[in-house]
Amino acid sequence: MRTMLRAVVLWGVLVVGAGLASMEVVHAADKAGSKSEVQKSKAPTTQKAKARPVSKQSSSKSVAQKGKAVPPVSKAKSTRVAKAKSTGVAKTSSLAARAGSSKSSRAQQRPENVAPSMAWHGQEHLAVRSGSALVIAQDGGEALYEKNARIVVPIASITKIMTAMVVLDSMPNLQAPITITDDDVDYLKGSRSRLQVGSVLTREMALLLALMSSENRAANALGRHYPGGLGAFIVAMNRKAASLGMSRTHFEDPTGLTSNNVSTAHDLARMVAAAYRYPLIREFSTTSGVTAEVKGRELAYRNTNQLVKSPTWEIGLSKTGYIQEAGKCLVMQARVADRPVVIVLLDSSDKQTRIGDANRIKRWMESASAAGKATPA
C-alpha cells in the first residue's frame, strides 16, 4: 500500500513539473513573437513618416481630436533644433560682419547715399561714368543720386559761376568798357582766345562770353577790373563761397585754369542754386550763341553746352569746364520730370561722356516719375 502511494505521488510531481516547463516554453515563444511584431510594426511607421512628414499644425489637431498627449521631443531632436538655431545666428552675424567690412569698398563702386525713392527704381541700371556726380533738388534736401560727391577735386571753368556772382554783387556799371591786357593771357595752360590784347568790350559782354563760351581772358579781365584789383577779387570769391556754406571749396583765380581751384559736387550744387537767383547768370549761361563786335570785327561765339539748344531739355543755368587735372565737367539747373534739380558732373573722360551722363540721368528720372516711383517735390 505504501509502495503504491509513493508511486502515485511521484507520478503527480512529474506531471506538474512537465506542465510548468511546457508553460514556460510557450510563454517564451509568445514573448519572442510579441517583440518581433513590435519591430515589424515600427519599421513601416518610420518609413511612412520619412516619406510624408506631417506639419505641426495638422499633427497637433490630430492629437487634440484623439485626446492624446503630445509626446515630448527627443533629446536628439532638441539638439538638432538648437544646433540649427545656433547656425542661423552665426550666419546672420557673419553676414553683418561682412557687410560692415565691405562698406568702404562698396562706397567706391556704387553711388553713395542714393535717396530711397529713386534707389529702388532702376538705380542699378543708371550707369554714370563721370568720376563725381550729384543730382539733388534745387532747394536742397536729400540727394536723388550721388557718386563720390564729397570728394575734393579741381573744378576748371565751373569757377566762372562764382566769378559772375562776385562781379554782380559789386553792382558795377555793366556798360563800362574793360580792356584785355597781357595780364589776361593764359601762360599757365596756353589756352587760346580770339580776344586779342588791346581788345575793348563792355563788362556785360565780357560776362556773357565768360559764362556762355567760357572765355578765359574775359573772365580774368572782369576780376582785374574789380574794386581793389585781382587780389581783392579772389578774396571776395572765397568769402562768397564761405557764406554759401561751401566749406570744402577754394579759389585762386577767376578762370579755373589753375588746378588749385577745388570743390566738391555738394559744394557746387550750393553754388549753382545760389547763382540761379541771378537773372543775368541764368540768361547768359543758357544763351545758345552770340555775335560780338571786337576791334571792328564780328566774332561768333556759341555755348559750350550743346544741351541748351535741345528741345527735350529745360535748362535754367549751365556751365561747362575742362582742364586736364579736372577732366570734362558740367553743372546745370534743369527741370526734369517736373522737378527742378541741380545736376553736377565732374571728371568725365570726354565731352560726350558728360552729355551722355546728363541724358542718362534725365531718362532715369523720367522713367521713375512715369512709373510713380518718385514723387516730384
| Structure confidence by residue, pLDDT tens digits, 4-51 | 545 544 545 444 444 444 444 334 444 444 444 434 434 444 343 333
C-alpha cell at 223: 576780376
Lowest-confidence segment of 15-29, 88-102, 212-226 by average pLDDT: 88-102
What does residue 319 show for φ and ψ, rounded to 5 degrees?
-160, 135
Reading the block at residue 365, the C-alpha cell is 528720372
Residue 145 lies in a domain: yes
Which pTM was predicted? 0.69
Tens of pLDDT, residue by residue over 105-144, are 333 333 444 443 444 344 557 889 999 999 999 998 889 9
Residue of 144, 113, 125, 142 lying closest to 337 (CA atoms): 144
Check residue 372 and give its pLDDT. 75
Q: Between these two residues, 118 and 97, which has the higher pLDDT value?
A: 118
Domain at 319, CATH number? 3.40.710.10
Residue 66 is labelled as binding a ligand: no
pLDDT of residue 188: 96
- The yes-or-no verdict on residue 98 having pLDDT over 90 is no
Whole-angstrom distance, CA of residue 354 vs CA of residue 297: 33
Average pLDDT value for residue range 220-244: 98
Structural domain boundaries, residue 170: 108-370
What's the average model confidence in pLDDT over 173-191?
A: 97
- Predicted local distance difference test score (pLDDT) of residue 106: 32
Residue 88's pLDDT is 38
CA atoms within 13 A on the CB side of 173: 5
Q: How confident is the model at residue 241 (pLDDT cuts 50, 70, 90)?
A: very high
Residues 343-362 have pLDDT tens digits of: 999 999 887 899 999 999 99
Cell of 307: 544741351
How far is 206 from 196, CA to CA, in rounded Å?
13
pLDDT at 196 over 70: yes
Residue 214 domain flag: yes
Taking the mean position of all CA atoms in its chain, how far away is CA 222? 39
**Is the residue at 317 inside a domain?**
yes
- Distance (Å, rounded) from C-alpha 86 to C-alpha 89? 5
- pLDDT at site 371: 82
Q: What is the pLDDT of residue 3?
A: 52
Instruction: For residues 325 and 320, give the distance between their C-alpha atoms in angstroms, rounded to a whole number.
Output: 15
In a domain, 57, yes or no: no
For residue 123, what pLDDT is reported? 52
Count structural domains, the chain.
Answer: 1
Q: Is residue 9 part of a domain?
A: no
- Whether the per-residue pLDDT at 364 is higher than 90: the answer is yes
Instruction: Return the ∠ at Cα 98 (arms to 93 and 103), rounded to 5°.
Output: 130
What pLDDT score does 127 carry? 87
Question: β-pairing, 327-336 with 132-137?
Answer: unpaired
Catalytic residue positions? 157, 160, 214
Calculate the alpha carbon distances from 218 to 60, 187, 211, 225 in Å: 87, 15, 10, 11
Region 308-314: what's the mean pLDDT?
97
| pLDDT score recorded for residue 7 | 53
In a domain, 31, yes or no: no
Task: Kindly report the average pLDDT of the chain as a whole number.
Answer: 77
Is residue 98 in some structural domain?
A: no
Q: Return the closest-CA partner of residue 160 out of 285, 269, 288, 249.
A: 285
Does position 271 have pLDDT exceeding 70, yes or no? yes
b/e code 154-165 from CB counts within 10 Å (16+ = b)? bbbbbbbbbbbb
What is the per-residue pLDDT for 296?
A: 87
Q: Does the pLDDT of residue 369 top 80, yes or no?
A: yes
Say which residues have a Cβ less than 8 Å from residue 156's Cβ, sequence separation at least 6.
256, 257, 261, 321, 322, 323, 325, 326, 329
Task: In whole angstroms, give the CA distance from residue 248 to residue 251.
Answer: 10
pLDDT confidence bin for 95, thresholds 50/70/90: very low
**Contact (Cβ atoms closer than 8 angstroms) between residue 303 and residue 309:** yes
Q: How much of the chain, in percent, has pLDDT values that exceed 90?
A: 61
Tell whether 35 is covered by a domain.
no
What is the residue type of 95?
Answer: L
